[in-house]
Amino acid sequence: MVEIKRASSQRRRHLADRFADKMAKKESLRIKGLRHKDETVWFGLGMFGIVGWAVAIPTLIGIALGLWIDRTWPSRYSWVLMFLIIGIVIGCINAAYWVRKVRKTIVEDDDE
């Protein structure tokens, strides 16, 4: 006959604690989801748009400025490439600012 081993009370308590922790995490995620239910897919796509424009606009301004300098004062250096890189760097800093700002509002909402 096969003997069934029962878990010790300490092991049962540990399993119950793990289960309670998992359920608490799921419940907090559910509450968080209810709090942010107005943020649909369009909200995420809008964030992609903000980040995209935050990089694209400074880059295009840098290219335009570089083209103008190259046409006005010709030199052996390509001002278009220099201002392209500067525009991309400024755009990335700008995008990081927007992402940090939105993340901060989301984290503050979660703390409440």
Query: Is the torsion defined by CA of 41, 46, 51, 52 positive or negative?
Result: positive
Residue identified by tokens 């119950």 is 16
Rounded to whole angstroms, the Cα distance separating 61 from 91 reads 10
Q: What is the full per-residue pLDDT of the chain (112 aa) written as tens digits? A: 566 666 677 888 888 889 999 998 888 878 777 776 666 777 778 878 888 899 999 999 999 999 999 999 988 999 999 999 999 999 999 999 988 888 887 777 666 5
Rounded to whole angstroms, the Cα distance separating 65 from 74 reads 13
This prediction's pTM: 0.61
What residues contact residue 94 under an 8 Å CB cut-off, 6+ apart?
Answer: 54, 55, 58
